[in-house]
Amino acid sequence: MEVWLASQSLRRATMLQEYFPEIKCEGFPDVDETPSPGSVDIQVLSICQKKSRAVPENHEFDVVVVCDTMLADPDDMDLALGKPNDTVEAAMMLHRLSGRRHQVWSATGIQLHGQWKFFVEHAIVEIDSLSDEQLVELVLSESWKGKAGGYDLAGPMGAYAQLIDGSESTVLGIAGEAMDLLKSFSLGHE
């Protein structure tokens, strides 16, 4: 089965390579990731759909996967936290999330036989109260680069964060139900 992960995320690629060793991982860096107005679930879905529209109609893949992930601000559930642009933004986001619970939203689009199906899910993550030294360590690790909310649950933040509810794959960038569907494709083609 020929699978194209239309994403530049190494984390998503790692998640799917276990099931599709020959997966193509190449995103579209020029897609406008400005979300539509609305709640975080609407915003993350709108960006995922923009990415799906960037996929050329004539491609040789059996399955194409597009994704987007955002965090809901713990103070305002309709305000999204995207990817920090620099170390200052990363530090501010991590400080905002320190000692609190928040929602992580992932939207995933899967194209099979030319038809798109979209999944939008959230998970709840709780981050320990981080000391100034831990915040500095996390920022200097650069694990925040390209990560919604400025952290990677499967990276250094894993020592300070716990999944409270939902799927770990949702937090890592692929909606849980979509990940289950992709795994079933893999099992059906062994």
Catalytically active residues are 68
Q: What does the alpha-carbon distance between residue 131 and residue 145 come to, in Å, rounded to a whole number?
A: 21
Q: What does the alpha-carbon distance between residue 186 and residue 58 come to, in Å, rounded to a whole number?
A: 23
Nearest to 69 by CA among 127, 136, 125: 125
- Dig out the tokens for 115 from the structure: 């038809």
Give, rounded to a whole angstrom, the gap between the first and last alpha carbons of the chain.
Answer: 10
Angstrom CA distances, 184 to 1, 29, 58, 181, 190, stand at: 12, 29, 25, 5, 10
DSSP type of residue 36:
P
Q: What does the alpha-carbon distance between residue 60 and residue 64 come to, in Å, rounded to a whole number?
A: 10
